[in-house]
Every structure is written in structure tokens, then in C-alpha cells.
């Protein structure tokens, strides 16, 4: 009977990290790790270089000292002992292995009785026979450096020095370098942690602010200190928070104003509909044809007012959307299309038009709607049979102005600063049809294209609306 096998799907990622559930390093951890790795690399390179230089120097000193002593041994006088005559260097070689290699019918090595026999091989024999001027090698069996110099016909002086003390010195040096390098890495890691903590403190504040905004919607700016890159990042974040706060405030104001403006026509529409429904019930007092006609006319007017208000609100919402693509706009064409639409509902009002070519980059439909709102506003306040003046001309500073002057009563001084506010309607305009959003749409379109709009008085006494837009002559 086989045991059940559990199959694990390893393709799924742990939400806390990468595949296999490994946790990603934080930025502070990466900075600390980078500092430690950088110092570790630098310390490793310096330590390795120092170790190799010291090692080379120590071995060179051993070789130089060994060759000098070998030459001194060759040059030393012969000393007569009780048994034989030997080099005088044998008497001062307690720290060396020294011997005299003689090659004849057979090979013989003479060395002090109190010392140990130095190693020899083919290299030393070649020196004794005169085939080589000298030899210097490391003997792997005894772990010593061996030097041989010729001493005479068939003879060579052989000296050997153990490498044990030199290797112990190198081992001690490697331990010291390792400890110093390890301490340096720990100090670098601690310094990297401190630097990361201090340097990333503004990032922590930005993170906390972003979390606070996401959780509470609080758009208060973050305190800025310093003038480095993180300070500029904080300033940019504060600018973004200010833009979001301003957008939210505009949305709240738009909703509040729209609700206020919609309440009156909806209330009137509901009242008229209730009157019609009550009159249609059995036993209720019937309405006269004149009353019914008046109520129906009121309903149609209220529906038209609601339609216009909703259309203006949709236009404002559409203009608030970011536009990625723009096109070449011929302002003369835009104004002429708006004039064609305005003439169809202007009645007996005439237009005195003077247009000079002007080109800019922008949204054709938004500019046409803005011009049409200016023309409709002029028509609304102009008496029958009057003339509305329309002028488009450059002013010489890289901008052109579109002036629309009506023959109406003009704008009161106290109303001039408010005419472009949303839903604002002067006392004279409250009895006329309109939503109070037309001029607000004009201002929004002008500012989106880098321009502006102004309200003033025409020479004839009516209102003068001036739309200024950047661009170039066609």
C-alpha cells in the first residue's frame, strides 16, 4: 500500500516576499548591507595586498640572508679539528643546516656533528660539479629553503633554513588582518545603519504621511527641513497634497453648489407635476385649459433648465479630466463655428465680426464651447436689434485676445470679481435662463490653455469679455 504524496505548488508567491516566501530587504537593510559589503571588499583587497607584499618581502629576506651566509661560509677559512679539516662556518651555524657536499667517485656530505644534515639533491650536485653557478630551492620534505654555492672543484657549500618561523609570522599577520578587517566591517555596518536611519528619516515621514492620507484622508503638509534631494522630494509631495486638497475642495464646492441649484427647479417641477396628477384624479377640481397650458410651459422650461445645468456640469467634469493629446487649433475657425451656432438662436441680434489669424495647440471642442458661452452670454443680455461686437487680434506679447462686447446694461462693479465663479448669477441675471456655469467653463478652458479671461465694460456701456490665449500668428 503506497502512502499518499503531498504535492506543493511552488509557483505561488508569498505575499510578504518573492517566490519561496523569501522576505525582501528594506531600503535601510540594503544600505547597511551595501556599506558592509563595500568595506568588506576594500578591507579584503587591502589585506590581501598587504599579506602578499609582506610574504614576498619575508621570503626575499630569507633568501637574501641565506645566500649571504652561504657566501660567507664559502669564503670562511678552513679549521683543523681533531679528525679533519672543515670550514670555519661550521662553528657558527647553530640556526642553520650546513654541510659541504663533495662529488667524486662517490657523493659525500660533511656537516657538523652538533647540527643536522642539510637536504641535497640534483640541483646541489650540479653546483658541486660545476654545471650550475648556484641553486636556490624549497625542499618540500623538510619545508626549508636550500641554497648551494660552489666551493671548489667537486665541492659545494649547502645551507638550509627552516621556513617554519616565517610561516608562523605570516599566520600571525593573517590573523591580525582578519580581526582588523572583521572589526572594520562591523564598524561599517553600524555606520551604514546609522547613516541609513538618519538619511531615510524623511522617507519614513513620507511613508507615514502617505499611510495617513490613505487611512484618514488628512492632507496636511509634511514639515520640510534641509535643502537636499529628500527635502525637494518632501516639497514635491506637499505640492501634490495641496493639489489633491484643492481638487477635493473644488469637488465639494461643486457638489454643494450643484445641489443648491438643482433644488429649485426640481421643487418647482415636482409641484407642477403634483398639480397635474391631482387634477387627473376622480372627483378633483379640473384645471382650465389656460392653467394646464401654463403648467406645461413651466414644466418644459424647468426641464430645459435642468438639461442645461446637467450639460454644464458634465462639461466642467469633462474639462477637469487630464488631456494627453492636443491638436493644432485655428482660432478663426473655432470662432466662426461658434458664431454659426450662436446666430441660430440670436433672433434679431447681429454680430459685428473682425478676426485675425491665430494658431495655438489645444482642445478644439473646449475652446469652441468657451467661445460659444461668451457669445450666448452677450446675446442673453443684449436687447433685440442690437449688435454684438466680436474681435480677435494679437497684442504683440505672444498672445491674442478675443473680445466679445454686448449692448446690455453692463456688469455692476460689485459683480465684476464674481462673474466667473461657479453658479454665480447677478441680480439682473436671476430672471434670465441659465445655470451660472457658462463663464466658469470659459475661465476653466482659458486657464487650461495657459491663458485667462477678464470681465469689463465696453465703450458702448455693455459688458466686455476678453479671452486671452497664447499662440502665434497663422
pLDDT tens-digit map of 177-202: 889 888 888 888 888 788 778 777 77
Give residue-wise pLDDT tens across range 137-160.
999 888 899 999 998 888 888 999
Q: What is the distance between the alpha carbons of residues 283 and 279, in angstroms, rounded to a whole number?
A: 9
> Does 431 have pLDDT greater than 70?
no
Q: What is the distance between the alpha carbons of residues 25 and 29, in angstroms, rounded to a whole number?
A: 6
> Does 251 have pLDDT greater than 80?
no
Q: How many CB atoms lie within 10 A of CB 152?
A: 12
| Per-position b or e across 41-78, b if 16+ CB within 10 A of its CB | eebeeebeeeeeeebeebbeebeeebbebbeebbebee
Domain ranges of the chain: 28-167, 220-323, 327-473
Find the mean pLDDT for residues 64-93: 66
The predicted structure's pLDDT at residue 278: 82
> Does 426 have pLDDT greater than 70?
no
The predicted structure's pLDDT at residue 466: 92
> Does 53 have pLDDT greater than 90?
yes
> Does 28 have pLDDT greater than 60?
yes
Q: What is the distance between the alpha carbons of residues 421 and 247, in angstroms, rounded to a whole number?
A: 16
The predicted structure's pLDDT at residue 94: 56
What is the number of residues in the chain?
474
Q: What is the distance between the alpha carbons of residues 97 and 54, in angstroms, rounded to a whole number?
A: 25
Q: Are strands 387-394 and 350-355 parallel, antiparallel or unpaired?
A: parallel
Closest CA to 100 of 39, 44, 153: 153
> Does 9 have pLDDT greater than 70?
no
Closest CA to 428 of 472, 383, 394, 375: 383
The predicted structure's pLDDT at residue 91: 43
The predicted structure's pLDDT at residue 230: 74
Q: What percent of the chain has pLDDT over 90?
A: 16
> Does 369 have pLDDT greater than 50?
yes
Top-confidence residue, 435 or 60: 60
Q: Is-contact 351 387, C-beta < 8 A?
A: yes
Q: Is-contact 329 362, C-beta < 8 A?
A: yes
Find the mean pLDDT for residues 22-47: 78
Find the mean pLDDT for residues 427-450: 70
Place 227 in a pLDDT band, splitting at 50, 70 and 90: confident
Query: What Rg, from alpha-carbon coordinates, does the chain have?
Result: 51
| CA 340 from centre of chain | 50
Q: What is the distance between the alpha carbons of residues 157 and 147, in angstroms, rounded to a whole number?
A: 8
Q: Positive or negative CA dihedral for 197, 200, 205, 208?
A: negative
Find the mean pLDDT for residues 429-453: 74
Q: Is-contact 398 470, C-beta < 8 A?
A: yes
User: Which residue shows C-alpha cell 446690455?
Assistant: 408
SS3 state at 434: coil
Q: Is-contact 132 111, C-beta < 8 A?
A: no
**Domain 220-323, what fold?**
Helix Hairpins (1.10.287)
The predicted structure's pLDDT at residue 308: 65
**Domain 327-473, what fold?**
Heat Shock Protein 90 (3.30.565)
Cell numbers representing residue 169 in the block: 609570522
> Does 211 have pLDDT greater than 50?
yes
Q: What is the distance between the alpha carbons of residues 320 and 437, in angstroms, rounded to a whole number?
A: 14
Question: Average model confidence (pLDDT) for the chain?
Answer: 79
- Those residues with Cβ within 8 angstroms of residue 97's Cβ, 6 or more apart along the chain or in another chain: 111, 115, 116, 117, 118, 119, 144, 159, 160, 161
SS3 state at 323: coil
Find the mean pLDDT for residues 36-64: 89
Find the mean pLDDT for residues 105-123: 80
Find the mean pLDDT for residues 285-303: 79
Find the mean pLDDT for residues 291-319: 72
Q: Is 261 exposed, middle or buried (0-12, 13-18, 19+ CB in 10 A)?
A: buried
> Does 280 have pLDDT greater than 60?
yes
Most distant CA pair in the chain: distance in Å?
Answer: 164
CB < 8 Å & 24+ apart, contacts of 285-291: none
What does each C-alpha distance from 410 to 143, 217, 396, 398 come to in angstroms?
113, 44, 28, 29
Closest CA to 353 of 296, 391, 308: 391
Range list of H helices, 89-163: 122-128
Question: Which secondary structure element, helix H or strand E, spans residue 319, and what is its range?
Answer: helix 289-320
> Does 344 have pLDDT greater than 70?
yes
Question: Which secondary structure element, helix H or strand E, spans residue 352, and what is its range?
Answer: strand 350-355
Give residue-wise pLDDT tens across range 370-401.
898 899 888 888 888 888 999 999 998 899 99
Q: What is the distance between the alpha carbons of residues 125 and 123, in angstroms, rounded to a whole number?
A: 5
- Those residues with Cβ within 8 angstroms of residue 84's Cβ, 6 or more apart along the chain or in another chain: 110
Q: What is the distance between the alpha carbons of residues 452 and 306, in angstroms, rounded to a whole number?
A: 28
Q: Are strands 155-162 and 97-103 parallel, antiparallel or unpaired?
A: antiparallel
Cell numbers representing residue 193 in the block: 545603519
Closest CA to 117 of 152, 93, 133, 82: 93
Amino acid at each position: 500500500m503506497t502512502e499518499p504524496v503531498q504535492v506543493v505548488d511552488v509557483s505561488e508567491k508569498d505575499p510578504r516576499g518573492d517566490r519561496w516566501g523569501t522576505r525582501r530587504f528594506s531600503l535601510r537593510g540594503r544600505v547597511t548591507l551595501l556599506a558592509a559589503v563595500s568595506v568588506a571588499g576594500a578591507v579584503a583587497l587591502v589585506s590581501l595586498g598587504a599579506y602578499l607584499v609582506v610574504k614576498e618581502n619575508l621570503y626575499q629576506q630569507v633568501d637574501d640572508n641565506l645566500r649571504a651566509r652561504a657566501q660567507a661560509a664559502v669564503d670562511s677559512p678552513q679549521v683543523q679539528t681533531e679528525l679533519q679539516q672543515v670550514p670555519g662556518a661550521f662553528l657558527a651555524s647553530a640556526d642553520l643546516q650546513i654541510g659541504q657536499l663533495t662529488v667524486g667517485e662517490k657523493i659525500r656530505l660533511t656537516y657538523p656533528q652538533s647540527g643536522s644534515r642539510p637536504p641535497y639533491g640534483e640541483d646541489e650536485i650540479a653546483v658541486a660539479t660545476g654545471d650550475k653557478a648556484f641553486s636556490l630551492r624549497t625542499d618540500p620534505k623538510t619545508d626549508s629553503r636550500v641554497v648551494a654555492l660552489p666551493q671548489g672543484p667537486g665541492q659545494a657549500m649547502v645551507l638550509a633554513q627552516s621556513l617554519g618561523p616565517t610561516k608562523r609570522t605570516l599566520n600571525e599577520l593573517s590573523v591580525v588582518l582578519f580581526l582588523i578587517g572583521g572589526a572594520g566591517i562591523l564598524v561599517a555596518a553600524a555606520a551604514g545603519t546609522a547613516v541609513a536611519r538618519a538619511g531615510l528619516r524623511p522617507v519614513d515621514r513620507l511613508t507615514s504621511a502617505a499611510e495617513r492620507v490613505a487611512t484618514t484622508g488628512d492632507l496636511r503638509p509634511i514639515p520640510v527641513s534641509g535643502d537636499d534631494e529628500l527635502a525637494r522630494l518632501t516639497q514635491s509631495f506637499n505640492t501634490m497634497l495641496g493639489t489633491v486638497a484643492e481638487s477635493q475642495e473644488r469637488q465639494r464646492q461643486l457638489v454643494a453648489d450643484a445641489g443648491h441649484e438643482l433644488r429649485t427647479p426640481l421643487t418647482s417641477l415636482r409641484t407642477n407635476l403634483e398639480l397635474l396628477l391631482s387634477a387627473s384624479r376622480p372627483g378633483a377640481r379640473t384645471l382650465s385649459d389656460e392653467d394646464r397650458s401654463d403648467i406645461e410651459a413651466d414644466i418644459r422650461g424647468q426641464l430645459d433648465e435642468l438639461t442645461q445645468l446637467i450639460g454644464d456640469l458634465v462639461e466642467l467634469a469633462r474639462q477637469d479630466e487630464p488631456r494627453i493629446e492636443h491638436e493644432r487649433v485655428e482660432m478663426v475657425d473655432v470662432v466662426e463655428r461658434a458664431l454659426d451656432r450662436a446666430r441660430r438662436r440670436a433672433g434679431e441680434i447681429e454680430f459685428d465680426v473682425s478676426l485675425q489669424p491665430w494658431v495655438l495647440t489645444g482642445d478644439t471642442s473646449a475652446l469652441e464651447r468657451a467661445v460659444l458661452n461668451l457669445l450666448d452670454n452677450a446675446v442673453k443680455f443684449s436687447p433685440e436689434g442690437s449688435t454684438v461686437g466680436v474681435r480677435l487680434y494679437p497684442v504683440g506679447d505672444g498672445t491674442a485676445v478675443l473680445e466679445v462686447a454686448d449692448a446690455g446694461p453692463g456688469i455692476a462693479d460689485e459683480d465684476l470679481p464674481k462673474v466667473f465663479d461657479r453658479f454665480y448669477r447677478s441680480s439682473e441675471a436671476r430672471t434670465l435662463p441659465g445655470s451660472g456655469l457658462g463663464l466658469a467653463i470659459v475661465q476653466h478652458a482659458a486657464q487650461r490653455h495657459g491663458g485667462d479671461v477678464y470681465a469689463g465694460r465696453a465703450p458702448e456701456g455693455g459688458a466686455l469679455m476678453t479671452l486671452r490665449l497664447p499662440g502665434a500668428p497663422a
